[in-house]
Amino acid sequence: MKRLFIAILGVLLCSGVLGSGIARAAENYPAKPITFIVAVEAGADGDVLARPLMQRVSQMLGQPIVIVNKPGGGSSIGYREIHSAKPDGYTLGWGSATIITNKLQGVSPFDYHDFTHLGAYATFFPIVIGSTKSKVQFNTIQEAITYAKAHPGAVTLSTAGVGQSWWVAAMSFLGGTGLDMNSIPQPGAGAMTVAQVAGGHAELGVAALGSAKSMVEGGQVKFLATLGDARAPAPYDKIPTVRELGYDVSWESTNFVMGPPKLPKEIVTILVNAIEKAAKEPEFVKFVNDRNTRWEYIPPDKVVPAFDKRRDAVREIMRKAGILKEAS
């Protein structure tokens, strides 16, 4: 009995010591530089947006935040490193819609449910572009939809590679509108798609606004519609979304900040407050919009529900395409 009492007392004492240690760590957080893993190459869209945000967060926390690029495997390499990091707040990272598609394709055993969310701050959205050199040309998305319905299989749609984010957007467009088009996947996600449309090799294409902007401004392609939940920022805010026309079509790639699982609540609070404040600074909002991206702040508790809806849509698209292979 005496030994049992001593053992229980020891456990309680240890628990108190450990608990107070965690509290002190959170109270002093951050006490050293933070590593921020970006799972795409330096200079990529996600990297370009993450750096100024983290610079602002660094200033608020009073510690350097070191950006480390870990591209490869559809971002799964960087995601894996974030996931396996010690949950002490000193390794954080960037995420996008690839965290949904990776698991569905069997590339990664985990997705957005397996991390600690710290807030989202910007959303890339795909657009539908039309050629000005193809034999059949469209001035509006309504014209394109009407023609494609009357001529099944006659319209060629240039897309990103199978399974990539903007390919998902293109499949959402075709599925949601019930259109039958000749879909031609291209290597990569942007430049090749836009080049095919600009050259008249495809009547339509799905790409990011950033990839197509120079061709839109030069008149080689026409910006017909947005496939996201909301319209593009000015000066393109007069161009409709496909959803506005009554079709259940939507796909976006939201950029967010996350940490490894089981990040202490006290540290999460500190980080979330700093990230929200940084993301809402007018200069950062302007920076995001100027890069053909829609600024929006999404609090951590809203990220997972939003991604759940997108995952359900992607799962069905990949199932129909025969590429669904969820890792367990």
pLDDT at 10: 52
Same domain? For 134 and 194 the reply is: yes
CATH number at residue 61: 3.40.190.150
Among 219, 245, 271, identify where a domain stops. Answer: 245
Closest listed residue to residue 255, CA positions, set 108, 109, 53: 53
Among 189, 220, 245, where does a domain finish? 245
Instruction: Give the structural domain span for 110.
Output: 25-124+252-321
Residue 23: per-residue pLDDT: 54
Q: Given this model, what pLDDT does residue 292 score?
A: 83
187-199 in b/e form (b: 16+ CB < 10 A) is: eebbebbbbbbbe
Could you tell me if residue 286 is inside a domain? yes
At 208 the pLDDT is: 87
Nearest to 257 by CA among 78, 88, 38: 38
Rounded Cα distance between 311 and 319, Å, is 12
Tell me the average confidence (pLDDT) per consecutive run of 10 residues in the chain, 328 residues long.
48 48 70 96 89 98 97 90 98 95 90 97 94 97 97 95 87 94 82 92 93 92 94 90 92 95 98 98 94 91 93 89 79
Same domain, 133 and 175: yes
18 found inside a domain: no
Claim to verify: residue 119 and residue 256 sit in the same structural domain: yes
Cα distance between residue 74 and residue 17, in whole Å = 42
**Residue 115 shares a structural domain with residue 262:** yes
pLDDT of residue 13: 45
165 and 74 fall within a common domain: no
Question: Do residues 98 and 52 share a domain?
Answer: yes
Peptide bond before residue 30 is cis, with ω within 30 degrees of 0: yes
**Nearest to residue 73, comparing CAs of 102, 109, 34, 104?**
102
Clarify whether residues 133 and 83 are in a common domain.
no
Number of domains in the chain: 2
Residue where a domain stops, chosen among 195, 225, 245:
245
The whole-number pLDDT of residue 326 equals 77
In a domain, 14, yes or no: no
What pLDDT, on a 0 to 100 scale, did the predictor assign at position 274? 98
Residue-wise DSSP of 112-157: GGGSEEEEEEEEE-EEEEEESSSSS--SSHHHHHHHHHHSTTTSEE
User: What are the angstrom distances between the C-alpha of 328 and each of 104, 111, 269, 319, 322?
Assistant: 10, 10, 31, 16, 18
State the Cα–Cα distance between residues 153 and 183, nearest whole angstrom: 9
Same structural domain, 137 and 224: yes
The CATH number of the domain holding residue 218 is 3.40.190.10
pLDDT digits (tens, 9 = 90+) for 46-93: 899 999 999 999 999 999 999 999 998 888 999 999 999 999 999 999
pTM, rounded to two decimals: 0.81
| Burial of residue 200, with CB atoms counted within 10 A of its CB: 0-12 exposed, 13-18 middle, 19 or more buried | middle
Give yes or no for a contact between 227 and 169, defined as CB atoms under 8 angstroms apart: yes
CA distances from 182 to 124, 133, 157, 190 (A): 25, 18, 6, 18
Is 155 within the bounds of a domain? yes
Regarding whether 234 and 130 lie in a shared domain, the answer is yes
